[in-house]
Amino acid sequence: MQNAYEYVSSAKLPTRFGEFRIHGFVEASGQEHVALTYGAWSEDDTVSIRIHSECLTGDALFSTRCDCGFQLERALQNMVKQGSGVLLYLRQEGRGIGLLNKIRAYELQDAGMDTVEANEHLGFDADLRDYSICKTMLDTLNVKHVELMTNNPKKLKALKNMGIDVVARKPIDHGITDDNIRYITTKRDKLGHAFDPHLLKGD
């Protein structure tokens, strides 16, 4: 493989939200990622996008101890409502520490640590995610100007550093529950995530 990241293939993906297209990408390491697209655009258009890191427990197993599954669902709903959009689904579980280490971190959180303390106790940085593949994915999908659905300033900075024109940030506050209120306030207070303070009813 000559490039660090490579496009593989695309296909239709009907879902309960609407019919998307799924596009496969692979890193030189063999790690696989996908993008979901809805609708069409030209390279001059501003496209609403979501960069979503894999969360098996939240996305597939319906966990409410994080807001990941809620945000994934809302992003797909927004794409359909707006008539177009892109979801970049990156395979970097647990902010990059992997699924089993995330479960170890959950055990530490059950004992009283917050999400940042638990990752650091296990010997990891609070957030190990890498967004460099997003440039290849967006270029392949002919997306040059984006409205980014996120609360995370690191994603904004990463895209801008790659030369992607971030026209606006759209908050994606959704799925705040009694089970995840501490997790969300920790993301706000320690990782700089932006949340509507009126939604943090448990704060």
Binding-site annotation: residue ranges for Zn(2+): 55, 66, 68
Interatomic CA distance for residues 125 and 130, integer angstroms: 12
- Which residue numbers are catalytic? 127, 129
Annotated binding site: 50-55, 66, 68, 71, 93-95, 115, 150, 155
**Cross-sheet strand order for the sheet of 145-149:** 5-14, 19-27, 32-38, 85-90, 46-53, 145-149, 165-170
Contact predicate 154/127, CB 8 Å: yes
Residue 87 tokens read as: 């979801």
Contact predicate 196/184, CB 8 Å: no
Annotated binding site for GTP: 50-54, 71, 93-95, 115, 150, 155
Residue 120 tokens read as: 């650091």
The region that residue 29 occupies, defined by phi over 0 for left and psi between -120 and 50 for alpha, beta otherwise, is alpha
